Amino acid sequence: MYSLRFQLLVSALIAAVGGATAFYFHPTFLLSVAILLGAVLLSYGILYFFVYRPLLRIQRVVDAQEDRASVERFIASSSEEFQNLSVSFNTMLESFRTDISRMRKLEGVRSEFLGNVSHELRTPLFSTQGLIETLLHGAVDDKKVNRDFLAKALNNIERLNSLLEELIDISRIESGEMKLRLRFFDIVPVLQAAAADMQTYAEQRRITVTYNGPTDAPLEVFGDKERLRQVAVNLMENAIKYSEKGGTVTLTLTSTADRAEIIVKDTGIGIAPQHLPRIFERFYRVDKDRNRDVGGSGLGLAIVKHIVEAHGSNITVESSVGIGTTFTFSISRTGVE
Ligand code: ADP
């Protein structure tokens, strides 16, 4: 494209040539042609000084060829329209910068997420592959190990399955696809059943799980029954997982006029203060080696936090190493957050 200055000059030249031609053929037009030419030159001058030059300076500002002080002096001395234009440019520039840094951050989060996912999937997959290969190479006939290897392979597959379920949950939450089905329901039987479902797992690990709350009177809350059950189960599973033999896990339900409070307390290994602010992050685990044994993916608490927050509430954690951990959250009884 031609520059603005070039276009203005060409218009002026065309007017001048037009005027000269008219004068050559009809001298009586001299005066009007002279006025026309003068007007064209005058408009060129006005356009040059008041439009082209300020635009050129704006271009320099955009190209960052001028220092900030001179840019600000220029803006302050220019007309209101240019000041508005500069404000719009600045706003546009800021929003571009924010968009770009958000995109960069997302890109980083995405690749970190993919890295974590592949790492989590690879461990149980490789382990299952190794077990099956060993069985195929003869261990299948060795009565001392064959059932044990198969049980381990099954365990890995169950771990893969629960990891996939958690990944699906996280991706549905983050894409906004997970919609809560909010309604009034009695939370007492839901929590009692959740605690009862924990018994087999707790017995395997020699842990006692107790429900501590109303038993015969209903306690209506406003929330998503299935998702809140999932939260209670997840917190109790963790409480059992991160406890030593002989520990206790208590699921407490209390209420005020407008809220029900749910507390999951354990007498387990606890979490050191420096880890507490990060345990709700995706894939964050305090002790990765220990988690290998107990089968954690680091997604559970991220899902729990999302669900509780989607209910307009917060989840808090208190913990002391070697003494135990307590997670607390509350749910509305009235439908008002
Ligand atoms: P994971 O699948 O690893 O259990 P979570 O997101 O549920 O992942 O928990 C994140 C980390 O927080 C765990 O790896 C564990 O280190 C710590 N954690 C969670 N709950 C407890 C608890 N009740 N006691 C001690 N540590 C816990």
Centre of ligand 1 to C-alpha 232, Å, is: 14
Q: Which atom of ligand 1 is nearest to the CA of 270?
A: 25
Q: For residue 73, what is the domain's CATH number? A: 1.10.287.130
Same domain, 148 and 5: yes
Same domain, yes or no: 2 and 99:
yes
For the record, the structure tokens of 83 come out as 């000041």
- 6-30 pLDDT, tens digit per residue, is 776 777 777 777 767 766 776 666 6
Residues 171 and 35 in one domain: yes
Task: Read off the pLDDT of residues 285-301 as tens digits, 9 standing for 90 and up.
Answer: 887 665 555 667 889 99
162 and 197 part of one domain: no
Residue 256: pLDDT above 90? Answer: yes
Asked if residue 141 and residue 3 are part of one domain, the reply reads: yes
Distance 104 CA to ligand 1 centre (A): 29
**Ligand 1, residues 242, 248, 278, 293: which to mutate, most atoms within 8 A of Cβ?**
242
Residue 195, in any domain of the structure: yes
Say whether both 268 and 190 belong to one domain: yes
From the CA of 279, how far away is ligand 1's center (Å)?
A: 7
Give the dihedral of Cα atoms 237, 243, 244, 250; nearest 10 deg.
-80
Q: Does 309 fall in a domain?
A: yes
**Residues 85-98: pLDDT tens digits?**
778 888 888 899 99
The domain in which residue 117 lies consists of: 1-178
Q: Is the pLDDT of residue 1 over 50?
A: no
User: How many Å apart are CA 234 and CA 175, to the nearest integer?
Assistant: 22
The number of distinct structural domains making up the chain is: 2
- Let me know whether 140 and 267 are in one domain: no
Query: Going by DSSP bridges, is the β-strand pair 248-255/208-212 parallel, antiparallel, or unpaired?
Result: parallel
* CATH code, 198: 3.30.565.10
Which tokens is 263 given? Answer: 């507390």
Do 151 and 202 belong to one domain?
Answer: no
Longest dimension (CA), the chain: 121
Q: Do residues 92 and 223 share a domain?
A: no
Which residues lie below 8 Å from residue 40, measured CB to CB, with a gap of 6+? 11, 12, 15, 16
Q: Is residue 337 part of a domain?
A: no
263 alpha carbon – ligand 1 mean position (Å): 16
Together in a domain, 200 and 71: no
pLDDT score of 62: 67
Q: Is residue 38 part of a domain?
A: yes
Hey, which of 120, 158, 285 would you mutate to test ligand 1's pocket, going by the most ligand atoms within 8 Å of its Cβ?
285
Find the 191 Cα to ligand 1 centroid distance in Å.
Answer: 21
- Alpha-carbon gap, residue 48 to 12, rounded angstroms: 12
The answer to whether residues 13 and 135 belong to one domain is yes
**Same domain (yes/no): 29, 139:** yes
- Residue that terminates a domain, selected from 129, 145, 178: 178
Closest ligand 1 atom, CA of 288? 14
Give the integer Cα–Cα distance in Å for 318 and 29: 95
Which pLDDT value is given to residue 90? 82
Answer whether residue 251 is part of any domain. Answer: yes
Q: Is residue 83 part of a domain?
A: yes
Pick the atom of ligand 1 nearest to 166's CA.
Answer: 2
Atom of ligand 1 nearest to the CA of 287: 16
Please give all residues whose beta carbon lies within 6 A of any atom in ligand 1, as ranges.
238-239, 242, 266, 268-271, 279, 284-287, 291, 296-302, 325
Closest CA to 197 of 206, 189, 270, 283: 189
d(CA 103, CA 53): 36
